[in-house]
Amino acid sequence: MVNIGERIKQKRLKLGLTQEELAARTELSKGFISQLERDLTSPSIATLMDILEVLGTDISDFFARDEEEKVVFTPDDMFVSEDDEVRSSICWLVPNAQKNALEPILVTLKPGGSTYPDDPHDGEEFGYVLSGSVTLILGARKFKLHKGDSFCYKPTEQHYLINGSQRDSRVIWVATPPSF
């Protein structure tokens, strides 16, 4: 059974609204909102729809069953895309990461391989070289990284990785917001 009052309270608090602010925006009394959140009263459908609109949700999302957040991912959850043209592969370590605030990938670069140049965008990027060595290109600047080195930057210039070595290189790369 859905606890309507508790869900309304959680959504209100998530938005940083007081009971008074929610009441004012819905043209209800603070007392009614207080009773509603303690499940001492029930709203009409029309009142519930007004409250949900102010809370930035709709009736179907409000009553949708919350799926437990997946925390652990196995190789079966991951997706790999190989690109023979640039001699690289990308493994998305978290499925559907595009809906998250960050997107972690594992990049494998064959000798002479590279990632595609990425244009400037908002956010930040972080990488950690697991094996081999790579060159990070940031605009006109070049940075040589070896196993155990990391990088972190705001992607305000075109950027990509090149593997100039004679063996495979592997890099954990995390972008926020997702861009891969």
Which pLDDT tens digit goes with each residue over 92-112?
998 876 667 888 999 999 999
Q: 52 and 141, same structural domain?
A: no
d(CA 142, CA 139): 8
| Residue 68 maps to a domain | no
Kindly state whether residue 130 falls inside one of the protein's structural domains. Answer: yes
Pair (105, 129) in one structural domain? yes
- 104 lies in the same domain as 129: yes
Locate all alpha helices (DSSP H) within 15-87, ordered by sequence. 19-26, 30-37, 45-54, 59-63
What would the two tokens of residue 133 be? 């060595």
Mind listing the pLDDT tens digit for each residue in 104-135? 999 999 999 999 999 999 999 999 999 999 99
pTM of the model: 0.63
Task: Please state the rounded mean pLDDT for residues 82-99.
Answer: 86
pLDDT band at 61 (very low <50, low <70, confident <90, very high): confident
Residue-level pLDDT at 97: 63
Say yes or no: 162 and 87 in one domain.
yes
